[in-house]
């Protein structure tokens, strides 16, 4: 009986530590990609501004597997402010090393990438209280082709994360 109690206590402590280690996250959400990421499919994230006084880091999070066939990734990311202002960026991220090995963390064929969106060059502050939204869409093209990649394979999840920056 004592052994079962010790095992249960150890499991609860482990669960507590696993969930409390991520105290910097203010917002962290993922959307699954069914089979392929269609070029017109937008991953949308909605959240409230944490405050207007602290600095924050904003990230695009991606999970991809070995079906991802490119060394980079182009994304269109739109940040919508509560007052209706929208800022749209076309971003490029490196996804593979020169030898073709996928970048990111993970021990299996699924890799997780935490990609900077805002806060890396200069501090990012939410300038307005209220509801923000972020829309993420891929903008991949094959070399020499005008039309974009219709269905992008290998991206399994798209996420967005807001962390309080270290002061």
Give the model confidence (pLDDT) of 18-31 as tens digits. 444 557 889 999 99
pTM (2 decimals)? 0.82
CA distances from 1 to 12, 15, 16, 23, 50 (A): 17, 21, 23, 35, 46
Query: 83-95, pLDDT tens digit by residue?
Result: 999 999 999 999 8
Cβ neighbours of residue 35 under 8 Å, at least 6 residues apart?
A: none
Residue with tokens 């402010």: 81
Assigned CATH topology for domain 26-164: Jelly Rolls (2.60.120)
pLDDT value of position 8: 40
Residue 104 or 8, more confident: 104
């Amino acid at each position: 009986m004592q052994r079962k109690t010790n095992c249960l206590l150890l499991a609860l402590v482990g669960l507590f530590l696993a969930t409390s280690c991520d105290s910097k996250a203010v917002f962290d959400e993922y959307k699954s990609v069914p089979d392929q990421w269609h070029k017109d499919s937008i991953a949308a994230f909605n959240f409230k501004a944490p405050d207007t006084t602290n600095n924050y880091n904003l990230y695009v999070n991606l999970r991809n597997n070995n079906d991802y066939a490119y060394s980079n990734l182009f994304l269109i990311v739109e940040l919508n402010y509560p007052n209706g202002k929208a800022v749209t960026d076309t971003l490029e991220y490196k996804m593979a090393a020169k030898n073709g090995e996928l970048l990111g963390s993970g021990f299996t064929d699924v890799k997780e990438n935490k990609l900077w969106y805002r806060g890396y060059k200069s501090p990012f502050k939410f300038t307005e209280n209220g509801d923000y939204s972020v829309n993420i869409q891929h903008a991949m093209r094959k070399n020499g082709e005008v039309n974009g990649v219709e269905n992008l394979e290998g991206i399994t999840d798209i996420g967005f994360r807001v962390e309080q920056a270290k002061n």
